[in-house]
Amino acid sequence: MKPSFIVKQLDQYVIGQEAAKKILAVAVYSHYRRIARPQRESAMMAKSNVLLIGSSGTGKTLMCETLSTLLDVPFVTAEATSLAHTRFVNEEIEAVLERLVDKAGGVVAKAQAGIVFIDEIDKLKVTDGQERGSSGESVQHSLLKIMEGAQVKLASGEYMDTTNILFICGGAFVGLDEIIASQTHGYGFIATSKGDNQNILDRLNTRVKPTDLFTFGLIPEFTGRLPIIARFHDLNRDMMVRIMTEPRNSIYNQFREVFKDEDVELTVDPRVFAQIAELAIEYKTGARSLRGIFEEMITPILYLVPDNTDIEKVHVSSLFNEPSYVLRSAPVNAPLAR
Ligand SMILES: Nc1ncnc2c1ncn2[C@@H]1O[C@H](COP(=O)(O)OP(=O)(O)OP(=O)(O)O)[C@@H](O)[C@H]1O
Ligand SMILES: [Mg+2]
């Protein structure tokens, strides 16, 4: 699968985040190219684990999950926070690898080429005043080992080699922008000739440097294992509207199906999606609150429909108005039994 093909597939489910899609697609493509080489050769090429940085609800997990189904490789997600809240970090990490083997149908060799997504990695940051060896830091050290490639003994007694597992880490990294801004001292790359590409300059200037991550609280060895960094943008209103309506499994499509099962046609005015997006932006949880708001709007209608088999069509024209109904018997707005 070429990177461009991977991006095209991701486009069907993940809205926007073009730069991140490309970075991830290339990383995955190169990774599987590398492990397909003879072992001696591939061992000489460094593995490139990936770090995804972006606010909550902007599609990090969604992109990784979509990717894994696409690639048909075993994929598991782990929360860095739950690793930090246990005294038995290594056991917890082993449990994650065991789950990967399960996903591979018990075939260790298949699991060894899988993907592990570690979410909320930013929660492992070392904060000032914390003593050395604090939980976050020790989790970073434990993760380092398996990210590098280690032999891990499984419950079955078999050994698992983590060298060819691709690790993708994700986190919101709240406050990182301030760190980046404070460390560029106001200067950056500026165009010196007409031929300079402004896009490339912008990219260089917003680049996250390993030193920024270090200032944030990741240990240098850890940032060193995450050479590829993809940033996710905050979602604007238009992107949220597209998220509700465009993907194959969008909320709108899902509910239209639900109504179709009742033999009812549901239509929602584009204006409603804009209203929902406005609310979601206020809630500051990215696209996460879209579904809840939409469901809240639709639930009263879904309550009515099964009792009123006469309903043929439902149209929602505003989040703040009652929907209008077209009845099979009288195609005008007739009163409904409630
Ligand atoms: N770019 C996007 N395209 C399509 N849907 C999206 C996008 N971003 C978020 N969503 C929707 O919002 C939900 C939450 O997104 P996701 O789980 O990917 O967030 P996240 O970036 O991993 O956030 P967190 O940092 O809180 O884990 C997804 O299930 C999806 O429905
Ligand atoms: Mg997530």
Q: Which residues, by Cβ under 5 Å, contact ligand 2, an ion?
A: 60-61, 119
pTM of the model: 0.84
Q: In this structure, what token pair is assigned to residue 159? A: 């050994």
Is 298's C-beta closer than 6 angstroms to any atom of ligand 1?
A: no
Cα 182 off chain centre by: 28
Residue of 15, 61, 121 best suited for mutating to test ligand 1, as the one with most atoms within 8 Å of CB: 61
For 313-324, what is each residue's pLDDT tens digit? 999 999 999 999
Ligand 1 pocket member 62 (CB < 6 A): yes
* 54-85: pLDDT as tens digits: 999 999 999 998 998 898 889 999 999 888 77
Whose tokens are 């801004």? That residue is: 181
Residue 268 pLDDT grade (very low, low, confident, very high; cuts 50, 70, 90): very high
Rounded-to-integer distance, Cα 65 and Cα 151, Å: 26
Please, what's the b/e burial string for 93-113 (b: 16 or more CB within 10 A of its CB; e: otherwise)? bbbbbbbbbebbeeebeebbb
Whether residue 60 has its Cβ less than 6 Å from ligand 1:
yes
Q: What are the b/e assignments for 261-277, b being 16+ CB within 10 Å?
A: eeebebebeeebbebbb
Which residue among 62, 120, 289 is best mutated to probe the pocket of ligand 1, counting the most ligand atoms within 8 A of its Cβ?
62
Looking at the chain, the whole-number percentage of residues with pLDDT higher than 70 is 88
- Whether 276 shows a pLDDT value over 70: the answer reads yes
The pLDDT of residue 282: 93
The pLDDT-based confidence of 248 (bands split at 50, 70, 90) is: confident
Distance of CA 199 to the CA centre of its chain: 24
For the cut 80, the answer to whether the pLDDT of residue 193 exceeds it is no
Whole-number Cα distances in Å, 257 to 217, 267, 273, 288, 313: 47, 11, 18, 21, 13
For ligand 1, atom 29, the nearest C-alpha belongs to: 62
Distance of CA 129 to CAs 58, 156, 232, 313, Å?
Answer: 32, 42, 31, 62
Q: With bands split at pLDDT 50, 70 and 90, how would you rate the model's confidence at 148?
A: confident
Task: Count H helices and E strands in the chain, helices first.
Answer: 16, 10
How far, in Å, is the centroid of ligand 1 from the Cα of 17? Answer: 11
> What are 151's strand-pairing partners?
161
On average, the pLDDT of the chain sits at 88
The tokens for 57 are: 């609800």
Distance 233 CA to ligand 2 centre (A): 14
Strand partners, 171: 53
CB-CB neighbours of 327 under 10 Å: 17
Q: What is the pLDDT of residues 6-18, one digit of tens each?
A: 999 999 999 999 9
Give the distance (Å) from ligand 2 centre to CA of residue 49: 17
Contacting residues for 206 by C-beta, under 8 A, at least 6 apart? 180, 231
The least confident of 35-49, 215-229, 241-255 is 35-49
> What does each C-alpha distance from 188 to 91, 99, 193, 205 come to in angstroms?
45, 45, 15, 6
